[in-house]
Amino acid sequence: MTPEPSGAAARPLLVVEHLKKVYPTATGGVEAVRDLHFSVPEGQLVCIVGPSGAGKTTLLKCIAGLLPITSGRIELLGEAITAPPKAMAVVFQEYGRSLFPWMSVEANVELPLKSAGVSKPERRAAAADALHAVGLDDAGGKYPWQLSGGMQQRVAIARALAYKPKVLIMDEPFAAVDAQTRADLEDLIRVIWKQLGVTILFVTHDIDESVYLGERVVVLSNSPTVVQDDVVIDLPAERDQLTTRSHPQFAALRSHIYEQIQRAKHNRGTETASTPTVLRRH
């Protein structure tokens, strides 16, 4: 019933296979991620949820090529990720630290393009388009710290969009903004996703947010992390803060994921480590 975005049936865009990440320490190492697999087809909006300390950020940094993996394989467009890939952009939770306060909003958005060698008029136009897409047409000349938290995160999203990635990775991007702003930003992400057809990997600890946003929710176990559950969100494509959230299916999915998270808290990657990814349909 959910109209899948184009290309969903094709080969997965992003593949995570037997991912293991051990942080080396003096006493031999801390295992953050044990044995993780999942794949994301092109154009999908996937949410990743897990109890706090589930190694969500570790997983994202591995996928983003910012952290070397211990074993396993992460593939984007068929190529193993060993360094930050060109087709990927990351939006961090800490927008205040991720945006550079010494640069104007415009310069922040243009910087990745500048470093990629895009000509000045071209990156000007790309920045203007991206800022328009997030509803910040007039903020280009300001500094990030002159904007509210929600607007700053919009700038960070605009910077990612201007970079024209195939995959957009978002690490709890709305955890630090107030509820109203958060709802607006969630709707913005849905709009951007639909308009641009970009693949989005959205990490959150908020179950409601994951159900509201995603086409699919991957539930992670406690650290050392494995995939606890993989849930298809078969809600109507047109999401609305009021009607979607009061949809009976929303409530069912929400409580299902809630239960999984509760179970995940006690699952330290031991019981289901070898269990293949379960796809549940409602």
Contact set with other proteins (CB under 8 A): 61, 64-66, 83-84, 86, 88-90, 92, 94, 97-98, 100-103, 111-112, 115-116, 142-143, 145-146, 163
CB of 33 to other proteins, least distance (A): 18
Place of tokens 């910012």: 66
Question: CA separation (Å) from 172 to 179, 195, 211, 226?
Answer: 14, 22, 14, 19
> Min. distance of Cβ 127 from other proteins in angstroms?
14
- Cα 124 from chain centroid (whole Å): 26
Provide, rounded to whole angstroms, the least separation between the CB of residue 24 and other proteins.
16
Task: Rank residues 97 and 281 by Cβ distance to other proteins and give the closer one.
Answer: 97
* Shortest separation between residue 96's beta carbon and other proteins, angstroms: 9
Which CB sits closer to other proteins, 111 or 128?
Answer: 111
- Cα 106 to Cα 109: distance, rounded to the nearest angstrom: 5
Type of residue numbered 187: D
Q: Which is nearer to other proteins, 65 or 224 (CB)?
A: 65
Q: How far is the CB of 244 from other proteins (least distance, A)?
A: 31
E strand spans, the chain: 14-23, 30-40, 45-49, 71-76, 79-80, 88-91, 167-171, 199-203, 216-220, 227-232, 279-280
Closest to 219 (Cα-Cα) out of 210, 228, 208 = 228
Residue closer to other proteins, measured from CB, 39 or 104: 104
Residue type for 3, please? P
- Give the nearer residue to other proteins in terms of CB position, either 13 or 64: 64
Looking at the Cβ atoms of 35 and 110, the one nearer to other proteins is 110
Q: Are 206 and 51 in contact (CB under 8 A)?
A: no
Task: Tell me how far, at minimum, the Cβ of 89 lies from other proteins, in Å.
Answer: 7
CA–CA distance, 138 with 84 (Å, rounded to integer): 31
